[in-house]
Amino acid sequence: MEFLLQNSVFRMACSQFDRTADFLQLPDAVRERVKWPKRAIAVSIPVRMDSGDVRVFSGYRVQHHLTLGPTKGGLRYAPDLDMGESAALAMWMSWKCALVDLPYGGAKGGVACDPRKLSLRENEAITRRFTQELIPFIGPQVDVPAPDMGTNPQTMAWILDTYSTHIGHSVPSVVTGKPLGLGGSAGRNEATGRGIAFLAHHAAHQMKLPAECRVIVQGFGNVGTYAAIAMAQYGSKVIGIGDVSGAIYNPNGIDVVALRQFVDSGRSLAEYTEGEHITNEQLLEQPCDILIPAAKEQVITGANAAKIQCRILAEGANGPTTPEADAILDQRPEILVIPDILCNAGGVIVSYFEWVQGLQSFFWTEAEVMDKLYRILTHAFTQVMRTAEEKKIPMRIAALSIGIRKVSDAKAARGLFP
Ligand code: NAD
């Protein structure tokens, strides 16, 4: 699996793992066993495009470990997706699931494509053929995909349908993040963003920040939108939002719901007039109380970590902060980092609720879902804070050390076969 190291995101996940393994003093044999993914699957996806031409797309699925139950993780549709990025994201999913005590290993994958350039029919054809190729490797007790960048509940519905047609009966628990009418869970769509806002608000309260915190959000997709809306509902003022087309900044506050409606009407954030247009790089460096990167990985780097001006860095995206940036942030005690595997865990927690509800065919109300979600997040946050304080280590290493320790203990308890 050394070929994965060609990818910078995978090298970053390994660097975080190695730093944490040093802290935990994991013996070499245990490190190797815990670190590398169990399975990395690559498939070719031939699809007839609307033009009549046939294009072959590359699809990936990496299953990091199978020690605690099925694997779980999102599917990403993005032009530059590759096996290394999938492996990094799968690894982070493993530590995240373990941190919040879910009975899963991590997985991630998707298709190298630009969903914005596909028709609905082309997107469906890619999804169904990709699912067909993955049938031996997925299932409610094997590996359960969910949405990530570029995919959504409709993608999950197509996967559910393709898989169920193959099996011969409906298998809703093969995916999570599916539409409510097909057995989705109340609150799943909003869960990641709301969980981020809940933790950021909780931390702000503990740090005695003003009730009307100034918030900046990078990314205005599923995660960024619900995080921004929930922060506004907590009484914060969202002063900056960015997406792939650029960023908008307004120190008087942005009406997030109005901006969402504007973008949903087919216009781009770059066309919105209620604020100043700046670049995504400038957005990250504006003064604020809470900064939420919720777009892509590696946006807070050695080049800008000294320039960010927030009190709480609430990581909505996976891997937004590079190890070089971490080294700088470790020297800036005025900034509390809520690391990705804790901060955005709301998505997989409610995915777990959806999986459990589906297996039992017994469904919960949104209030029950959110109550259970917030209890788990509060417990995990307290554990991570306490570990960081007691061991005098950064929040990221504290969170990773709890997750990695649980996976290595589980592997040790099961032993080595044969
Ligand atoms: P999405 O596709 O719904 O939205 C992504 C957003 O990021 C879009 O607004 C897009 O315009 C923006 N973006 C893309 N490239 C950008 C760039 N270069 N600069 C600025 N903005 C850019 O995806 P999502 O589901 O919201 O996921 C966002 C992040 O959160 C990803 O890192 C994902 O892995 C992570 N995450 C998602 C979930 C979930 O439940 N969807 C759960 C946990 C973590």
CATH number at 131 reads 3.40.50.10860
Q: Are residues 253 and 287 in the same domain?
A: yes
Closest C-alpha residue for ligand 1 atom 4: 221
DSSP-based three-state secondary structure for 245: coil
Residues 171 and 207 in one domain: no
Ligand 1 site-directed mutation target among 243, 343, 351, most atoms within 8 Å of CB: 243
User: In this predicted structure, what is the pLDDT of residue 403?
Assistant: 98
Domain that holds residue 135: 11-179
DSSP, collapsed to helix, strand or coil, labels residue 130 as helix
Number of separate helices (H) and strands (E) present in the chain:
14, 12
Of 269, 304, 329, the residue that ends a domain is 329
| Residue in 413, 410, 407, 414 with CA at minimum distance from that of residue 95 | 407
Does 202 lie in the same domain as 66?
A: no
Same domain, 28 and 68: yes
For a pocket test of ligand 1, which of 93, 223, 341 has the largest count of ligand atoms closer than 8 A to its C-beta?
Answer: 223
Tell me: do 195 and 174 sit in the same domain.
no
Our answer on whether the CB atom of 319 is closer than 6 Å to any ligand 1 atom is no
Nearest residue to 159 via CA among 201, 202, 128 = 128
CA of 359 to the centre of ligand 1 (A): 29
Of the candidates 347, 326, 342, the residue with the CA atom closest to the CA atom of residue 393: 326
Q: Does residue 161 share a domain with residue 17?
A: yes
Same domain, 241 and 266: yes
The two tokens of residue 168 are 């011969």
Establish if 370 belongs to a structural domain: no
Count other C-beta atoms under 10 Å from residue 344's C-beta: 28
Of the three residues 274, 307, 329, the one that is the final residue of a domain is 329
Which pLDDT value is given to residue 416? Answer: 87
Output the CA torsion 136→104→77→249 (10° steps).
Answer: 170
pLDDT, residue 418, reads 77
For ligand 1, is residue 292 a contact (CB within 6 Å)? no
How confident is the prediction along the chain (418 residues), in pLDDT tens digits per residue?
A: 888 999 999 999 999 999 999 999 999 989 999 999 999 999 999 999 999 999 999 999 999 999 999 999 999 999 999 999 999 999 999 999 999 999 999 999 999 999 999 999 999 999 999 999 999 999 999 999 999 999 999 999 999 999 999 999 999 999 999 999 999 999 999 999 999 999 999 999 999 999 899 999 999 999 999 999 999 999 999 999 999 999 999 999 999 999 999 999 999 898 999 999 999 999 999 999 999 999 999 999 999 999 999 999 999 999 999 999 999 999 999 999 999 999 999 999 999 999 999 999 999 999 999 999 999 999 999 999 999 999 999 999 999 999 999 999 999 999 988 7
Q: Do 25 and 173 belong together in one domain?
A: yes
Residue 390 lies in a domain: no
- Ligand 1 pocket check for 221: Cβ under 6 Å: yes
Note whether 252 and 168 are same-domain residues.
no
Q: In ligand 1, which atom is closest to the CA atom of 177?
A: 40
Ligand 1 atom closest to the Cα of residue 146 is: 40
Cβ(296) to ligand 1 under 6 A?
yes
Q: 235 and 161 share a domain? A: no
> Taking the alpha carbons of 172, 173, 174, 179 in that order, is the dihedral positive or negative?
positive
The answer as to whether 397 is a domain residue is no
Q: Which atom of ligand 1 is nearest to the CA of 89?
A: 34
Residue 111: the pLDDT is 98
Say how far apart CA 416 and CA 299 lie, in whole Å. 39
Asked if the structure places residue 72 within a domain, the reply is yes
Atom of ligand 1 nearest to the CA of 150: 2
Does any domain span residue 126?
yes
Under DSSP, the state recorded for 109 is E
Query: Does residue 412 lie in a domain region?
Result: no
Cα 101 to its chain centre, rounded Å, is: 17
Beta strands in 273-401 (DSSP E): 276-278, 290-293, 312-314, 336-338
Q: Is 223 in the pocket of ligand 1 (CB under 6 A)?
A: yes
At 235, give phi and psi (nearest 5°).
100, 5
CA–CA distance, 318 with 88 (Å, rounded to integer)? 10
Statement to judge: residues 167 and 58 lie in one domain: yes
Q: Which long-range contacts (CB under 8 A, 24 or more apart) does 254-259 make?
A: 256/225, 256/228, 256/229, 256/232, 257/229, 257/232, 259/220
Q: Cα-flanking dihedrals φ and ψ of residue 173, to 5°?
A: -80, 10
Q: Of 280, 309, 329, which closes a domain?
A: 329
Ligand 1 lined by 94 (C-beta under 6 Å) = no
d(CA 143, CA 355): 11
Instruction: Tell me if 317 CB under 6 Å of ligand 1.
Output: yes
Do 39 and 154 belong together in one domain?
Answer: yes
Number of domains into which the chain is organized = 2
Q: Is the CB of residue 220 less than 8 Å from the CB of residue 242?
A: yes
Question: Hey, whose CA ends up nearest to atom 17 of ligand 1?
Answer: 244
CATH number of the domain bearing residue 242:
3.40.50.720
CA distance 227 to 238: 10
In a domain, residue 224? The reply is yes
Residue 145 is assigned to a structural domain of this protein: yes
**Any idea what DSSP says for residue 321?**
B
What spacing in Å lies between the alpha carbon of 219 and ligand 1's midpoint?
6
